Amino acid sequence: MTPNGCCSTSDKVGGNVVAYFCTPDLQILHAVWGPESPERFLAEATWAVELAKRLRALPPEERVKAARDAHGTNPYRLSQGRCNRSHQERYDFMASKALTPLAASAADLFLKLVNERASEEEVRVCEGGPLSQRRVGYGPRVRN
């Protein structure tokens, strides 16, 4: 902080965050990173739920290709502007990890998406279902 209470350019305000949307067995469906509006976050969560429903209807051998293809049409890919190659490149990297195990991919994804190494702390996992029944627990430890 500067003497007048303003943040200097070297001060970090908050941490880098990546929210992973996963299958029940913790395979990555989608991810959202950085600060996003509640409306955008809800839209991406809804998109991930719809993707999961579509994938369940497919034979297992077709799911990875279908998941990665679906990412090509997700509006979030272009949400930072059509000229923001950095966001699109990060999004495409994330899409290439669709249906990979969270434990195997989270650290690489975190580094690529927010340009920082992931913590060695356990990954927080929030189980789905009605809000009143959701439970936050911890998934496998992520190592760099």
pTM, two decimal places: 0.74
- Tokens for 35, please give them: 């600060």
Residue 133 lies in a domain: yes
Instruction: Provide the domain limits for residue 48.
Output: 18-141
Residue 119 lies in a domain: yes
Residue 131 lies in a domain: yes
pLDDT of residue 15: 52
The total number of structural domains that make up the chain: 1
Residue 8 lies in a domain: no
pLDDT of residue 56: 95
Q: How far apart (Å, rounded) are the C-alpha atoms in residues 129 and 43?
A: 17
Q: Residues 108-118: pLDDT tens digits?
A: 999 999 888 88
CB-CB contact of 132 with 140 (8 Å): no
Q: How far apart (Å, rounded) are the C-alpha atoms in residues 79 and 55?
A: 24
Q: How far apart (Å, rounded) are the C-alpha atoms in residues 121 and 142?
A: 7
Low-confidence residues of the chain: pLDDT under 50: 1-14, 131-144
Residue 101 lies in a domain: yes
Residue 93 lies in a domain: yes
Residue 4 lies in a domain: no
* Angle CA 16–107–50, to nearest 5: 80
pLDDT of residue 4: 37
